[in-house]
A = this chain, B = another copy of it.
Amino acid sequence: MIGQHCTWDVYHADRTRLSFVPHIEQMLHAIIDTLKLAKVSAAFKQFEPAGVTGFILLEESHISIHTWPEHNFAAIDVFSCQPFDVEPVNRMLAEMLQSDEIICQTWERGRLPLSLRKAN
């Protein structure tokens, strides 16, 4: 595997917490700090009257979020060239977005040439 790509579909989230950039930006920075990823640059957009789309470019990876407060829904993804544990992210999203239903999926992106794969 060359990269690990995880997506989170967050349902029943608190509408206010999905609505504005400052809370969402703070949450993404907390996640990348927890995953020990290194920030390169960031961009966020505030929708009117509510809703956020945002992205932080990391070293050879990224985290993105798109929120729909009107559906109490957020879509998050993290791509990283280093494997990482999704459990802390699950807990942070549940707490920071006040959600009781989070669907997390993990995809392996890119198979290595046979000569570089670990035995087993």
Contact = CB atoms under 8 A, between A and B. Distances in A.
Most chain B Cβ neighbours within 10 Å, of A51, A55, A81, A112 = A55
B43 A53 contact: no
Interface stretch (A17-25, A27-35, A62-70): A62-70
A116 B81 CA distance: 38
A52 to B, nearest CB: 10
Given A55-B62, A62-B55, A64-B79, A7 B47 contact: no
Interface of A: 2-3, 5, 7, 9, 11, 40-43, 45, 47, 51, 53-55, 57-62, 64, 66, 68, 71, 73, 75, 77, 79, 81, 105, 107, 109-113, 116
